Structure 1
Amino acid sequence: MDWTTSLQGLIGGVLIGLSATWLMATLGRIAGISGIIGTLVTARPPGDSAWRLAFVLGLVSGPVVVLLAGGGLGNVAGAPGEVIGEPAGGVPLMLLAGLLVGLGTGLGSGCTSGHGVCGLSRLSVRSMVATVTFLVAAIVTVFVVRHVIGGGA
């Protein structure tokens, strides 16, 4: 067992929980990434974009801070030593997947961060159903890709 990876996951989880709690306690907002980003790039109430932009910049800058502190990004690529490799299915498939995720967050009224982190902690039945749906869809997708289609490791 690699304790460094486990410790990084624990610290990351605590920071996600603290940021979601802080956002709810200070602004009364739910830390749902799709809603934060979606409202940042579309119509929003005046003066409401500063905290959204700060939240998104925090998401993006987190990995940079870890790298500057001498940490790694883990095995996010196909080979050790690579930071980020080519998309497994190619760029067009990645763009299609991103579009489908965006449509799914619209249809599901939120994403895994909003439902899975914030909704479950509030004991929201709708979020419980959404999170179970996310997990089942992910399990089925991995099974189909690995065992039916035969691709990916």
Structure 2
Amino acid sequence: MIPDYAMPVQGLIGGLMIGLAAAVMLLGLGRIAGVSGLLARMMRISDSGPPLVLAGMFVVGLPLGAFMVALLSGPIETRFPESAAVLIVGGLVVGFGTRLGSGCTSGHGVCGLSRLSKRSVVATLCFMGAGFATVAAMNALGLGW
């Protein structure tokens, strides 16, 4: 199987689709396509944001889109830690970080940067830097994938 990083055409198509979805949400509906905000709205954690139905359709469409790609192109190679506890703790930390940072990577990195939001530039630099540092530390400790 070809590694994901060696698939530039698929990456370009995926990036264009993400950009198109963000543009449709912003230009067509006046809403930011930040997944954490949409998920919070869908789960009724937040009263602000897009209509509940729109948030639900967007969030449900994410795994549905991946399922459709898998049906059309075959199985998608995935690798996860063997420990469910690691996944749960990681998910909780990411959730906490998105609430603390007033948005997630899609909200800040895709939508915020395209609007030249200073807050999003700082947030994107922080989570990219933290990601680079984490990968470097994991690889240095021999715990990388």
Shared fold (TM-score greater than 0.5)? yes
- CA deviation after TM superposition for structure 1 residue 109, in Å: 0.4
- What is aligned with 2:16? 14
Q: Is structure 2 residue 67 aligned with structure 1 residue 53?
A: no
Counterpart check, 1:150 vs 2:142: yes
- Native 8 Å contact 1:88 1:152 kept in 2: no
Once residues 70 and 152 of structure 1 are traced to their aligned partners in structure 2, the CA distance between those partners, rounded to angstroms, is 28
Unpaired runs of 5+ residues, structure 1, are 78-86
Q: Which amino acid aligns with 1:57?
A: V
**Pair 1:20–1:12, CA change in 2 (3 A):** same
Normalising by structure 1, report the TM-score: 0.84
CA positional deviation for 1:63: 1.1
Q: How does 1:117-136 map to 2 (within 5 A)?
A: 117-136=110-129
1:82-121 equivalences in 2 (<5 Å): 87-88=80-81, 90-121=83-114
Secondary structure of 2:55's match? helix
Q: Percent identity?
A: 43
**Could you tell me how far 1:4 is from its partner in structure 2?**
7.8
Q: Which residue of 2 aligns with 1:26?
A: 28
Unaligned runs of 5+ in 2: none
In 2 relative to 1, CA 146–16 (structure 1 residues): closer, same or farther, beyond 3 Å? same
Question: Counterparts of 1:103 and 1:135 in 2: how far apart (Å)?
Answer: 17
Distance 1:88 1:124 in 2: 35
Asked which structure has the greater CA Rg, the reply is: 1
| Per-residue deviation, 1:136 | 0.5
Stretches of 4+ aligned residues off by more than 6 angstroms: 1-4
RMSD of the TM alignment (CA)? 2.1
Distance 1:123 1:8, change over 3 A: same
Normalised by the length of structure 2, the TM-score is 0.88
| Equivalent position of 1:84 in the other structure | none
